[in-house]
Amino acid sequence: MFARPGLPRFDYVQASTADEAVTLLQDYGPDARLLMGGTDLFPGLREGRFGARVLIDVKQLPGMRQLDHDDETGLTIGAAVTMNELARHPVVQARYPVLAQAAGTVASYQIRNRATIGGNLCNASPCADTAPATLVLEAEFLLYGLQGERAVTAGEFFRGPGQTALRPAEMMVGIRIPASPSRAAARYLKLGRCRSGDLSLVGVAVCGFGNGDGRHAFRIALGSVAPTPVRASEAEAHLASQPAGEAAFAGAAEKAMAASSPISDVRGTAEYQRAMVRTLTLRALRDVWAQLLA
Ligand SMILES: Cc1cc2nc3c(=O)[nH]c(=O)nc-3n(C[C@H](O)[C@H](O)[C@H](O)COP(=O)(O)OP(=O)(O)OC[C@H]3O[C@@H](n4cnc5c(N)ncnc54)[C@H](O)[C@@H]3O)c2cc1C
């Protein structure tokens, strides 16, 4: 689709409560869209991918910019926390490094100052960088609607490109991540066409946990290589079935590649993306393992 010369006309409303926002969504139906950083929404409006007469700004709602951590209950992130806030937050860096790393790879510094985690997840692009991190961290997304709040797991949320478990007149208000075990390590590796500022061709998130009895568990999620971000469950099961080490990692990388189903497009062929899933999974597993042994 060709870019249009400018944005279409729209009304702007800054909601002052979550109830007001969801009531406006209900009243305007498909004519309304929620606005946070606007880094996906405005390009989409300009290119005619979204049609909206009313933009409802929800990033200033109470709690939306908040980040709370508790050793027992974990991390709760307001949906409007920005990528730079996540990437630089000391608790996120120390306890949830896969999320800090993923947020730090999004676009450029300037865009990361606007782009929010909630916008990234709700836009539901298969290449959303924070999505694989939420899968390996087994996050829950807090969704608010006219009936109140409900929680949906990251695994249930993504339904297809641009498709989520959000119901009509519902909005994301936060992301809840369980407490991270003390012996944990993680790595997010992203391949784009250039070193920085590009959407990913392949994104691989790996978390590893020491169980205290000498055994380890790994979680792996992939971005950009299927209609939704996906967990590589067979690769995880392969790792669980044998001692950690080079042979196990090579087998898991093969299984991660088998879990991907990329399509060829102008940015790369499916064969290349599949091969890069194997390569990046192997590298991320080696890196996480080295951190766990250190
Ligand atoms: C040049 C450029 C480079 C980019 N590079 C990357 C990249 O490397 N990696 C990457 O992952 N992304 C990238 N993006 C995409 C974008 O920056 C991210 O997806 C961003 O995190 C979206 O957040 P936002 O706050 O700007 O969302 P918005 O644009 O405000 O909203 C995004 C979508 O979510 C909906 N929405 C907003 N708030 C809510 C809510 N509370 N509840 C439910 N739905 C809501 C909106 O209606 C809209 O459909 C790039 C974008 C640009 C323009």
| Options 3.10.310, 2.60.40, 3.30.43, 1.20.1070; CATH of 11-56 | 3.30.43
Task: Measure the CA–CA gap between 44 and 38, rounded to whole angstroms.
Answer: 9
Q: Verify whether ligand 1 is closer than 6 Å to residue 33 (CB atom).
A: yes
Amino acid at 282: L
**Residue given tokens 């999974």 in the structure block:** 281
What integer is the mean pLDDT of 61-85? 97
Distance 117 CA to ligand 1 centre (A): 8
Lowest mean pLDDT among 50-59, 84-93, 129-138, 206-215: 206-215
Nearest to 277 by CA among 228, 220, 218, 222: 222
Beta partners for residue 141, in sequence order: 152, 175
Mean pLDDT confidence for 153-158: 98
Which segments of the chain belong to CATH 3.30.390.50?
184-293
> What confidence tens digit (pLDDT) does each residue in 194-204 have?
877 789 999 99
Q: How much is the pLDDT for 88? A: 98
pLDDT for the residue numbered 177:
98
Q: Name the β-bridge partners of 191.
A: 202
**Average pLDDT, stretch 176-180?**
95
Cβ–ligand 1 contact at 288 (below 6 Å): no
Q: What is the pLDDT of residue 4?
A: 53
As a whole-number percent, the residues of the chain with pLDDT over 70 amount to 98
Cα 172 to ligand 1 centroid, rounded to whole Å: 13
Q: Which residues of 121-147 are buried (b: 16+ CB within 10 A; e: fewer)?
A: bbbbbbbbbbbbbbbbbebbbbbbbee
Class of domain 67-177: alpha beta
CA torsion 233→234→237→243, rounded to 10°? -120
Kindly state the average pLDDT of the residues 72-101.
Answer: 97
172 lines ligand 1 (CB under 6 A): yes
Residue 1's pLDDT is what?
47
Q: Which atom of ligand 1 is nearest to the CA of 117?
A: 21
Tell me how far the alpha carbon of residue 245 lies from the centroid of ligand 1, in angstroms: 38
Q: Where in the chain is the domain with CATH 3.30.43?
A: 11-56
User: Which residues make Cβ contacts (< 8 Å) with residue 37, sequence separation at least 6?
Assistant: 59, 80, 82, 114, 115, 116, 119
The answer, yes or no, to whether any atom of ligand 1 lies below 6 A from the CB of 115, is yes
Q: Dump the DSSP string for 140-157.
A: EEEEEETTEEEEEEHHHH
Q: What is the pLDDT of residues 108-121, one digit of tens each?
A: 999 999 999 999 99
215 or 269, which is more confident: 269
Domain made up of 184-293: CATH architecture:
2-Layer Sandwich (3.30)
* Average pLDDT over every residue of 273-278: 98
Cα of 41 to ligand 1 centre, how many Å? 7
Q: Where in the chain is the domain with CATH 3.30.465.10?
A: 67-177
Q: Tell which one of 31, 40, 167 to mutate to probe ligand 1, the residue whose CB is within 8 A of the most ligand atoms.
A: 40
The number of the ligand 1 atom at minimal distance from the alpha carbon of 52 is 47
| Cβ of 123 below 6 Å from ligand 1 | yes
The whole-model pTM stands at 0.97
CB 130 within 8 A of CB 100: no
Radius of gyration of the chain measured on its C-alpha atoms: 19
Least confident of 29-38, 222-231, 259-268: 259-268
What angle do the packed helices 270-293 and 246-259 form, to 10 degrees? 140
Q: Rounded to whole angstroms, how far apart are CA atoms 213 and 216? A: 8
Question: How much is the pLDDT for 91?
Answer: 97
Please tell me the distance from the alpha carbon of residue 294 to that of residue 287, in angstroms, as a whole number.
11
To test the pocket of ligand 1, the residue of 10, 20, 36 to mutate (highest count of ligand atoms within 8 Å of its CB) is: 36
The Å distance, Cα 207 to ligand 1 centre, comes to: 25
pLDDT at residue 244, as a whole number: 95
pLDDT confidence tier of residue 179, bands split at 50, 70 and 90 = very high
| Ligand 1 within 6 A of CB of 192 | no
Tens digits of residue pLDDT in 212-255: 777 899 999 999 999 999 999 999 999 999 999 999 999 999 99
* CB 116 near ligand 1, within 6 Å: yes
